[in-house]
Structure 1
Amino acid sequence: MTITALRTPRRLVRVRKAVTRRFARALTGDAGMSTVEYAVGTIAAAAFGAVLYTVVSGDSIPDALGGIIERALNTRV
């Protein structure tokens, strides 16, 4: 037998154990968010809401939507 033939099964066993440990860790990990993650998520949601409100309440969006609706209503078939 060669040395390579002896190393390959041991390596496969190590890789299989590592993969098994990784899956076990993934399945038994935290199911929810920590307090810091909640805080960051809440701040991100509030910032997104503020940006969305600013965009929608600005003059450009209502003007663009009004123009689209006006063109659609004035189209001749």
Structure 2
Amino acid sequence: MWNAMRGRMSALRRGMRNDNGMTTSEYAMGTIAACAFAAVLYKIVTSGTVSGALEAVIGKALDAQF
């Protein structure tokens, strides 16, 4: 009984340690997510409303009296 239980636990531990390729796929998914976020952010920043607001803020900052 104990030998069978030890064998199962040993197999379970070996299975938990076997994560070949996990870091590569995690980096790939992170890179894809970052690129998608950058594309959405670029579209938002270059839209007319946000672009006009940014230009107004920058214009006010450049025209400020010191």
Same-fold status (TM-score > 0.5)? no
Q: Could you say which structure has the larger radius of gyration?
A: 1
Which TM bucket (shorter chain)?
0.3 to 0.5
| Structure with larger RCO (C-alpha < 8 A, sep 6+) | 2
TM-score, L = length of structure 1: 0.40
